[in-house]
Structure 1
Amino acid sequence: MKVSELLAVPHFAGMNMIAGASGKEREVHTVNMMDAPDIIHFLNQNELLVTTAYHVKDHPDQLTELIRMMSEKGCAALGIKTKRFLKEIPQSVIDLANELSFPIIDLPIEISLGEIVNHTLRAISDKRATELSLAFETHKQFTQLILQGKGIPKLLQDLSQTIGYPVQLINQHLKPIFKTNSDSELFTFMNSIRKEAFTLSVKNTSSIAFSLRATRQAYTLFPIYFSEKKIGFLSVMGDIQHYNPSTLLTIDQAINVISFALMKEQALKQQTRSIRNDFFLRFIDGAFPSETETLHRAAEFSLPNNQMYVVAGKLDDTDRYFTYTERQQTIDDIYEFIEDEVNKGHFFTLGDCCIILFEIHQDSSIEKSLLQLQSMVLSYFDKTISFGVSNISHTFLQTKHAYKEALDALKQGELLKKTNFIQTFQTKDVIELLRLIPEKELKTFYRYTLQGFFQSKAEEEQTLLETLSVFLDTNCQISETAKRLFVHRNTVVYRIEKCEEILGKSLKESETTLQLRIALRLKTLLEL
């Protein structure tokens, strides 16, 4: 309890503060009696010392040194029975106490020091019991909000109403998560220091206070730990570091409940992320039997069937870590940061790579977004990350091929020994144009063009199509085709004649060879 609160106790009605009144907010945690001149060695911080001043009655000026040393130790106050053995307190002692803001209390002569000690300890005990009861009820109230499913926003709203200050919840990267008011000034401030990779030092401190120069508005940040290395902040719009202890106690209880709620949300988030990653991996592996089922599953994860880019990202130099655990922890931290920063994308992690599906908007620039991510990763983590970007995927189903393009672009940049790069996939042929055509139409064209081959045995069909593909790739050169297939020239002639017989057309016609080239490309594209 504070010195001012102690003086308000009914049993101490006769006490008066005769010096150091500006220090009345000092905390009193315990009390001691002076029974020897060397009492200073046995005093502790926030301790009230009461005395009759018998040991200094002949040399009252010695109180000066006692007060100085008590102030240096952080003691709460000095209570003296001024009318017991001292005629008066020297003015030099009064002046020093006022200078140090160290309270000197005039104790009533009719109350014994033992009674003063007992009443003081009882008052401190009663106050602490009240605070513990308040803490219990507050913790119970906030816990019920979470258990009832009302969530952190409702908890923050009740906390704000209880303490009378607007509050916000900020993650470890100073990004607002929940807030009770639209404090644009704080948002602007936090955004500016985020761009400078500003790091708050929270070690060995319970809160951090600051004020904005433009508005002189004070804020207090209370750290919230919700996992081993992750930390967030509860921002209170006001400087309440030395405010009413009950207010700080209420905030502490809210922080405890918020911490557990955040750990729960973190676990649920990781589970959801794992399920999403599993879906995308199965989609890439072709595990779903039909397009309808694939789109239905995608809709469950709010994945749109719109135009988008697929981006594959990978940290540079991840092989330089001493342990696998250190390496994986760094990757997880950075990818989680990127996931929180991606506003217009859908995020997955597959192995060491992160996959982002960027929807195409009129006001969006994928290159600008990726450059910003690279800059923030470098600023916050002192690491670099590279990205491979696919061509436009016009439907969600096409992201399967776009994913491979993004990985190819990423590998292409790695082969060139580049770091912190953004590599765009370069279309090698007409495949990208063919993807603009509905898959159903492509399959119809493929079957119509090569329908005669489907009547043959599978082994013979494969041999003839392979020969036909090489023959067309070599510009219809018999000798070159035989060389590439490691067969006799006459074998190639026989197979080509067989192909013309099946097709009912001559391979010397340019229109026929064009259709066949496209159909054979479709065979690879459609994985037939």
Structure 2
Amino acid sequence: MINENGGSYMHFTVKKALNILDCCKIVAGKRGLNSSIRSVSIMDSPDISWLKRGDLLLTTGYIFKDDSETQIKLIQDLAERDCAGLAIKVKRFLSTIPEPMIQEANRLGFPILEIPYERLLSDMLFAVTREILKSESIFNEQVRRRDFISRLLRGELANETAVLSQGHEYGILTGCEYVVLYIYENASKKRKSLSIDKSILFKAMNEVGNALHVKLIGEQLDDFVIIVQDYRINDMFHPVSEKARKAACMLVKSFAKHNEKKTISIGIGTRQSDVRDIHTSFQEAKEAVYLGCRVTSGGNGAIHEYTALEPEALLQHLPDRELNRYFTATVEKLIIYDEENGTELFQTLEIYLYCGGKLGDAARILFVHRNTVKFRIARIEELLGISLADGNVSFRLQLGMCASRLLGVSSRFAEPILDMLKEG
């Protein structure tokens, strides 16, 4: 389920005005149908110096009824001032909209609407003004909602009662566990904000929420953020962290299905049981995307969990010289050996340790025989002069691999292996 206020705000446009004023029709400038209407006025004077951006002008056409040059100049001036459009009442002073005006409006993409004779301009003025005020009210509510969620994610709301009281209006539930998903568009580094069609994400959120029986709240900030909420606290069989993982997978697949040209990556924060700590999960989800893109080879459409990247999150604060020193002392010899001999010892060790030292599981992921993994492990122990039966040794090697990834020497797993691990 998605919060009913979750849809993105759209300005009141000429196209929407036509739906309300169903008696009117557009006769020119259809390219400008999505122009925003910010105000509406009745035009009864040739002086348009008072007009401003977004104005919709209603007129009987008396002031320009006999002068084609004035008609063309009016359209040009209105378009230059970025007005929303011109609505002309016919069969009083003009039998039809003058052709010169239509041609110029089509050239400039400036909307001209035709108002039937029987409609009063004052009635239309009232109807459009009412819709503008309604749109502004919706917009102001969305601004308040975005501000609340933004402050919640920044950790600026410390009073739990106040957070839940105000948050209830925006879909924040009590007695829940919370996990934040941070959605990042895989695009140029030059981009400043998410440019993907957010309606696709909202549609996917509805499908995911209904399928997993969780409440999702989405908001567009610098990137898109989703708060996963689940009532079933301490559910060992279906914890909220597992549902968040499933939700992320479903969102990536759903987005890919509806948008082939763009992809997203998703960071997953840790589970929080206090609404005031949602900001912690948010920061973790954001860092997971950053670290995940840096140290894995998952590529576009990847999912990065903070819990799986905690060692990198700690080690990234060390100077590169310290990371280099530790890398050299632990696993560098394997990478050099692989490069010189065309072997895959480093990757084998990485998968073997990921599988908790289980030869069969590692062999299945690597698509090799169990004995092949056994032989490679023996060779690794020989090269490094260690025994993987020692837990401390395994731990040191895993940290060495984390250091290598942060240094850009290696990436965590290959793409097919990542897919296998997700399925497994």
State TM-score, norm by structure 1: 0.36
Q: Which has the higher contact order (CA 8 A, sep 6+)?
A: 2
State TM-score, norm by structure 2: 0.43
